[in-house]
Amino acid sequence: MKRLLPLDSKRALIWVGVLISIVSLAYAMRGLRLSEFLEVMRTANYIWILPGVAIYFFGVWARTWRWSYMLRPFKRVPLWRLFSIVCIGYAGNNIYPARAGEVIRSYVLKKTDDIAISSSLATVFVERVFDGLVMLLFVFLALPFTSAIPERYRDFVVLLSSLFGIALIFFIIVAARPEKARRIYDIVAVRLIPARFQPKLSDIVDRFILGFSCLRSGRGVLAIFLTSVVVWLAETMKYWFIMHAFDFEVSFLVLMLMNGIVNLFTTLPAAPGYIGTFDAPGIEILEVVGGVNRQVATAYTLVLHVALWLPITALGLWYFYRQRLHWSDFDRAGQAALSES
C-alpha cells in the first residue's frame, strides 16, 4: 500500500515530536517538589471536572456547527452525524502523530456523504487558521490586564500572528478570485509538475479551491469567526471550572492568556496528545503571570490536560468503532487524500 509519507519520513516526524515532548516535559517538571505536588493532587476537588467537561462538549457542538456551515456549498450534513465525525477527528489527533485526525475525519465524511476529501480538508485548514487567530486575539486581549508574557514566548507569538494573518488573506483571495487562482496554478504546474501528474492534481486543486467557498462573503467570514470565539470561550470556561478544584484563583483573562499560549504551542510537533507542548507553557503562564505556586500550577495543568484529552478521545474512539473503522484506515485516509479514490 502506498503511504501519504515515506516510512522513514513518518518515523523521523514521530521521533522529532517525541524529542520535543521530552524536552518540554523536562522543562515543565523542573523544580517540582513531588511530596507537595502529590498533596495538591490528593486534596483537589475533582467534582469540578464535570461542569468543565459539559461546557467543553458545548464547544465541540459549536465547532460542529461551524464545520457544517463551511460545508454548505457542497451538502447540508446533519449535525448529529457531523458531530460524531468531529469527535473521531479529535481522537485521531490525540492518539496518532502529525494531526492525522484532520485527514481521517475528511475520509469518514467522504464515506458517509461523498464530499471530496480535498474540499473538506480545505475547510479544515480554514478552521485551523481561524482557531489560531482567535488564540492570538485571546493573548492580545489579556495582555493589557495581566503581567507581560515571558520574553521567550514573544517572538513565537509574533511569528504565528504573521503566519495566520497571511494564511487568512491568502484563503480569502483564493475564495474571492478562484478563476485567477486556478490560472496561476496552471502557470506554475506547466513549469514545475510532470505532465503525467497534472490532470489528477488539477482535479484535486479544483476541489480544494472549492473548499474555500465559505469565505466568499463577509457574512460567511464573520459567522466563522464568531463561532470560533464561542468555541474557544467554552474551552476557557473549562479552564475556569477546573481551577475551582484547586486552591488558587486567577482572573478569567489569565486563563484566556493561558489557553491562547498553550494552544499556539500545540501547533508544534509533539508526541500524540500534545504531551509537554501543552504542559510547559501552561505551568509557566500560571506561575509567572498568575503568581500561582508551581506545585499547584503543575497539578492543575496536568489534570486539565487529562480532562481535555480523555473524554473527547473516549467518545471519538466509540464513534470510530461504530463506523467500523480500523487503524489501517489512517493510512487509507492519507492515500485517499492524494488519489480521491
* Predicted confidence (pLDDT) at residue 2 exceeds the cutoff of 50: no
Q: Which residues contact 253 (CB under 8 A, 6 or more apart)?
A: 141, 142, 145, 146
pLDDT tens, 287-305? 999 999 999 999 999 999 9
pLDDT band at 192 (very low <50, low <70, confident <90, very high): confident
pLDDT tens, 142-170? 888 777 777 777 778 878 888 888 888 88
pLDDT on residue 3: 46
Q: Which residues contact 34 (CB under 8 A, 6 or more apart)?
A: none
Q: What is the mean pLDDT of residues 125-138?
A: 92
Nearest residue to 168 via CA among 136, 120, 207 = 136
| Per-chain mean pLDDT for the chain | 88
Across 194-198, 209-213, 314-318, 319-323, which has the greatest mean pLDDT?
314-318
Across 93-102, 166-175, 277-286, which has the greatest mean pLDDT?
277-286
Of all helices (H) and strands (E), which one includes residue 262? Answer: helix 252-265
The dihedral formed by the CA atoms of 264, 162, 290 and 35, expressed in degrees to the nearest 10: 30
Ranges of H-type helices in 29-78:
34-43, 49-71
In this predicted structure, which of 77-86, 92-101, 152-161, 327-336 has the lowest mean pLDDT?
A: 327-336
CA distance 260 to 255: 8
CA distance 76 to 74: 7
CA distance 281 to 61: 27
pLDDT band at 338 (very low <50, low <70, confident <90, very high): low
pLDDT band at 228 (very low <50, low <70, confident <90, very high): very high
pLDDT on residue 282: 95
pLDDT tens, 5-61? 455 566 777 788 889 999 999 999 988 899 999 999 999 999 999 999 999 999 999
pLDDT on residue 127: 94
* Residue written as grid cell 456549498: 73
pLDDT on residue 153: 77
